[in-house]
Amino acid sequence: MPAPETTSHRLVLPADANHHGTLYAGSLLRYALETAYATACRGVGPAANLMLRRVLALECRRSVPVGTLVEIRGVVLQTRQGYLAVGVVGMPMAGHTLPWMDGLLGFVQVDAAGLPVDLPQPVETAADAPLWQPLAARLEKLAAIRGATADWIAAGF
Amino acid sequence: MPAPETTSHRLVLPADANHHGTLYAGSLLRYALETAYATACRGVGPAANLMLRRVLALECRRSVPVGTLVEIRGVVLQTRQGYLAVGVVGMPMAGHTLPWMDGLLGFVQVDAAGLPVDLPQPVETAADAPLWQPLAARLEKLAAIRGATADWIAAGF
Amino acid sequence: MPAPETTSHRLVLPADANHHGTLYAGSLLRYALETAYATACRGVGPAANLMLRRVLALECRRSVPVGTLVEIRGVVLQTRQGYLAVGVVGMPMAGHTLPWMDGLLGFVQVDAAGLPVDLPQPVETAADAPLWQPLAARLEKLAAIRGATADWIAAGF
Amino acid sequence: MPAPETTSHRLVLPADANHHGTLYAGSLLRYALETAYATACRGVGPAANLMLRRVLALECRRSVPVGTLVEIRGVVLQTRQGYLAVGVVGMPMAGHTLPWMDGLLGFVQVDAAGLPVDLPQPVETAADAPLWQPLAARLEKLAAIRGATADWIAAGF
Amino acid sequence: MPAPETTSHRLVLPADANHHGTLYAGSLLRYALETAYATACRGVGPAANLMLRRVLALECRRSVPVGTLVEIRGVVLQTRQGYLAVGVVGMPMAGHTLPWMDGLLGFVQVDAAGLPVDLPQPVETAADAPLWQPLAARLEKLAAIRGATADWIAAGF
Amino acid sequence: MPAPETTSHRLVLPADANHHGTLYAGSLLRYALETAYATACRGVGPAANLMLRRVLALECRRSVPVGTLVEIRGVVLQTRQGYLAVGVVGMPMAGHTLPWMDGLLGFVQVDAAGLPVDLPQPVETAADAPLWQPLAARLEKLAAIRGATADWIAAGF
C-alpha cells in the first residue's frame, strides 16, 4: 500500500497576492511549507516535534491568479535517523497539465529543548506512484550537494 | 569593486514565531525571499520586474528566539539571459560564528504580461568576497540538477 | 459511493492564538470557513463562484493548544437551487473522542456581477456516514428558523 | 435604561478582501467576533475572562466593497449562569436600509485554567429597542436546537 | 452640543504583541490610525475620501499586556480647507488614571485621482470637554513647527 | 566618521495597500517604526532593549503605488540618558526628488521588568550630513513641546 498523501486546499486571496494579481512568492513558500509540515507530522505520528531544516529545491512553474482554489499534495519521500524529506506538488490547475509548483523540504525531529533526536518510530515513505517519481529522482541527485557547514567555518565570519 | 550587498533587518515578533518561541519557518522563508527580492531588484535597476522562479537551496542552521533583531544580507551571484541567482545569508547572531540561515534563490525578469524577457541591462555579480564563497560554490554544484519539466510531462498528469 | 470529504490540516501558531495560548476564535472561524469553502468549491466543480451566505451554527467544543496540528473535514450536506449547506468537523485531537469544533455553513453561487444564480451542475451530497449524522440532523431542525429579512424591514432602520 | 451598545468601525482594506473586491467572509467573521467579544467583555466588567462557545447564527446580507468604513453594533441579549448571548448588527451602508450582516454569538466565562465558571456579576441585557428585536426573536426560536454533544458520542469516533 | 466622539475597542492578541508580551508599537500605531481614520471619516460624512498626511505627535505612556481589551476614543479637533486634525486617546486601563496612549493625526481629503481637495462640508470640532484639552493645547503649540518641504529641497537629494 | 545609517527595503504588496492601490498608512507607520527600531537597536548595541516612547513627527509626502520597492534609511539623531531620537527617511522614488515619508521617533531603554534605565553605552549620533539636516532642525524646534503628563492629570480622568 502506498504511503498516504496529505492534501490541502487554499483559496488565493488578495492578501496573498503580488502586484501582478497572482500568488505572491512569500505566500507560495508558506503554502508549500504548511503542506510539507502537515505531511511530515502525519507521517511521524502523535510524537512528532518537527522543525524545518532545509528547502532542498522548489520550483514555481506557473503564476496562480487571485481567486484560484489551489490543491497541494505531499508525501514523505525519504527518512534517515531524525530527518525526513518531504515532496510537495501544486496540482495542475484547470486546463493545465503541469504542476504550478513542486518542492522538496527536509525536517528534523527535535526534543523539548530543540535538540535533534531520532524519529519516534519508522515512517512509511511514498511508493513508486508516478506522481512522485520526478521529485524522488531529483532528491537522489541532490544527495551529494548539501550545503556543508565546513564551508562557512572556512568563510571566517 | 565588489557588487553592492543589500542588507535588511527584522525584529522577530511573536506573530512570526512557532510554538517553540523561535522564528517560524514560514516567516523565515518570507524574510529570505524579501531580502533576495530586494537584492535582485536593486541589481537589475529601475526596470526590474521580477518573479521568483525557484529556491535552489536554503538551510536553517539555528533557531532564532523571539525578540532577536536579525540581519540578512544578499548579493547577486550569477546571471544569464532573463534570470539571476541571488544568495542570502542570515548573519551570525551575537555570540555565534555561523549564519543562522543561508539560501540561493532564482528570479526571472518578466514583461507586463508576465512572460519571461531578457534583463534590461547587465547586472553586476558578487566579487570573490569570502562571505559569498560557500554559496557561490554550492550554486556551481547545483547547476546540473535543476528540476526538469520533462520529468513532469513523463509523470503523465 | 459517499460524497468525497475535503480534508485540511493547519498548524496552530502563536499568530493564531488568544492570550490563553489556545486557538483564537477569530482564527478558528477562519479555519472553519476555509475548509467549508474548499469543500463547496470542489463539490460544485470548476464553475464554482461561491460566497458565504450564512453560518447556520458553529460549536467550539474544546480549546486547541498552540503547536497542535489540527485536521478539519468537510462535506456538502444539502443543496437547493443556487445554495449549498456544508458541514465541517474538527477531528478529535489525540487522546480525545469528541470534535473540538463543528459547524454548518451556507454558500450561494453568484455570477460575475455578484448576483445569485443556479448551481452549474448537480452536486453530490454526503451519504449517511456516521460522522455526518449529527450535523445533518441539526441542519434539518434549523430549516425553519432562518433569519427573515422581513424582521429587519419591520425593525425600521 | 437600555443596556449600552458597543460600537466599532472598521475600514475594509484590500488585505480584508476576496477576489471580488468585497469584504472576504473570513474577515467578516472576525469583525463580527471582535465586536461581539468587546460587547460581552464590557457587559461582564473588569473580571471578564470569556471564550467563544458558539455562533448561533450569522447572516451575510450584502457585499461590502473595499474602501467602505463599516459600523458594527453589539449588545448582550441573554445570560444564564456562566454564559451570555450577544447580538451584532452591521449597520446599513449609505443608501441602504438593511444590515449587511447580523449575528448571534455565545460566550462562556472561564477561570484561569480555562474551565467554565459563573459570571462574576449580573449582566444587563438589551431592552426592547427595535434594532434588537429581530435577533432577540431568532435567539428564542433557536433555544431548543443547540447541537447536542450526545449526538457526537453516538457518532462513535 | 459637543462633537460626537468615535470609540473603538480592540483585544490585544499575541499576534499584536512584542517579545515583552505587551502591545507591539507597530500594532499600537495601527490602532491609533484606525480610530483616527474612522473619526475623521465620520466627521466628514459619506463623501469622505481621506488619506493620512501626518502624525503630529503620539505618546506611548504605558505598556498594555496581551489579553487587555483596550478602548480608544477620537474627535476632530481642527479643520482648515481640505485638512483635519484628529485627537485620539487610549482610555486609562482598569486601576490606572492616565491614558496609555494619546496622539494627534492629520488627514487630507482627496479626489478620485488622489489630489487634495476641499472638505465636502463643514466638520464639527470638539467642544471644550476636559478630555480633549491636553491634545487641543498641544496642537496649538505645534502649529508653527510643521516639517517644511522646503527643508528637503535644500537638502538636495 | 558619520554615524552609520540603517537601510531597509520593502516591496509594497496588495496586503499593504489601501483602496486607492497605494501604501496604506497603517503599513507605512509600521515600515517607519521597523526601520527606526532597527536603527536604534544597532546604535545601542547588543544590550539594546528598547520600546517606542513617542512619534515626535511623521510626514507622508507622496502616495506609494503597490509594486514599488521602497528604501527607508534611519540614523540616531540625539540621545539623553535612557532615551534616543531616531530620524527616518523614505528615499525619493525613481523620478522624484523629495522623500515620500520622513519621521522622528523616540525610544527608551528598559530593563527586564520594562522600567526605564540608562543606555548601556554612549551612542553615536548622525554627523551633519545634508540628508539629516531637515529632521535634525525639526527635532530641535520640537524640543519644547513634548506632551506633558501633567496635562492629563489636570484633565481629571
pLDDT of residue E152: 78
pLDDT of residue F98: 92
pLDDT of residue A110: 96
Contact status, residue D29 vs residue D58, Cβ threshold 8 Å: yes
| Average per-residue pLDDT for chain D | 91
**pLDDT at residue A148 is higher than 80:** no
Residue F94 gets which letter from DSSP?
T
pLDDT of residue A1: 41
Q: Do chains B and C touch (3 or more CB pairs under 8 A)?
A: yes
Reported as a single tens digit per residue, the pLDDT across A14-45 is: 999 999 999 999 999 999 999 999 999 999 99
How far is the C-alpha of C90 from the C-alpha of C100, rounded, in Å? Answer: 5
Q: Do chains E and A touch (3 or more CB pairs under 8 A)?
A: no
Reported as a single tens digit per residue, the pLDDT across A103-144 is: 999 999 999 988 999 999 999 998 678 899 999 999 999 987
pLDDT level of residue D146 (50, 70, 90 thresholds): low
The mean pLDDT value for F128-140 works out to 90
pLDDT of residue D155: 73
Cα torsion E122, E127, E131, E136 to 10°: value is 70
Contact status, residue E43 vs residue E121, Cβ threshold 8 Å: no
- Stronger pLDDT, E32 or C153, i.e. the higher one: E32
The mean pLDDT value for E79-85 works out to 95
pLDDT of residue C147: 56
Supply angle C-alpha E90, E91, E93, rounded to 5: 110
Surface of E (66-95) touching C: CB under 8 A: 66-67
| Average per-residue pLDDT for chain F | 91
Residues of chain E found within 8 Å of residue B15, distances taken between Cβ atoms: 14-17, 24
Is some CB atom of chain A closer than 8 A to the CB atom of C10?
Answer: yes
- Measure CB to CB from residue B11 to each of F6, F7, F37 and give the nearest one: F37
Reported as a single tens digit per residue, the pLDDT across E13-46 is: 999 999 999 999 999 999 999 999 999 999 999 9
SS (H, E, C) B5-69: CEEEEEECCHHHECCCCEECHHHHHHHHHHHHHHHHHHHHCCCCCEEEEEEEEEEECCCCECCCE
Is some CB atom of chain D closer than 8 A to the CB atom of F22?
Answer: no
Are A9 and C94 an interchain contact pair (Cβ–Cβ within 8 Å)?
no
**pLDDT at residue E148 is higher than 90:** no
Integer CA distances (angstroms), D13 to B36, D10, D38, E10, F24, in order: 27, 9, 22, 17, 8
- Stronger pLDDT, F2 or F112, i.e. the higher one: F112
Is some CB atom of chain F closer than 8 A to the CB atom of A14?
Answer: yes
Reported as a single tens digit per residue, the pLDDT across C130-139 is: 899 999 999 9
**pLDDT at residue F147 is higher than 60:** no
Among candidates A86, A88, A87, A92, which has minimal Cα distance to A70?
A92
pLDDT of residue F1: 42
Residues of chain D found within 8 Å of residue A67, distances taken between Cβ atoms: 18-19
Lowest mean pLDDT across D30-44, E124-138, F56-70: E124-138
Reported as a single tens digit per residue, the pLDDT across D6-63 is: 999 999 999 999 999 999 999 999 999 999 999 999 999 999 999 999 999 999 999 9
**pLDDT at residue E48 is higher than 50:** yes
Q: Coil, strand, or helix at residue A43? A: helix
Are F66 and A24 an interchain contact pair (Cβ–Cβ within 8 Å)?
no
**pLDDT at residue F8 is higher than 80:** yes
Residues of chain E found within 8 Å of residue F99, distances taken between Cβ atoms: 152, 157
The pTM (predicted TM-score) of the whole model is 0.92
Cell of C145: 428558523
The mean pLDDT value for F18-33 works out to 96
Residues of chain B found within 8 Å of residue F48, distances taken between Cβ atoms: 69
Reported as a single tens digit per residue, the pLDDT across B30-66 is: 999 999 999 999 999 999 999 999 999 999 999 999 9
Residues of chain E found within 8 Å of residue D35, distances taken between Cβ atoms: 9
Cell of A84: 525526513
pLDDT of residue D130: 86
**pLDDT at residue F3 is higher than 90:** no
Supply angle C-alpha E11, E12, E14, rounded to 5: 130
How far is the C-alpha of E15 from the C-alpha of E27, rounded, in Å? Answer: 9
pLDDT of residue C1: 42
pLDDT of residue B1: 41
CB proximity list for A151: less than 8 A, separation 6 or greater: B133, B134, B137, B138
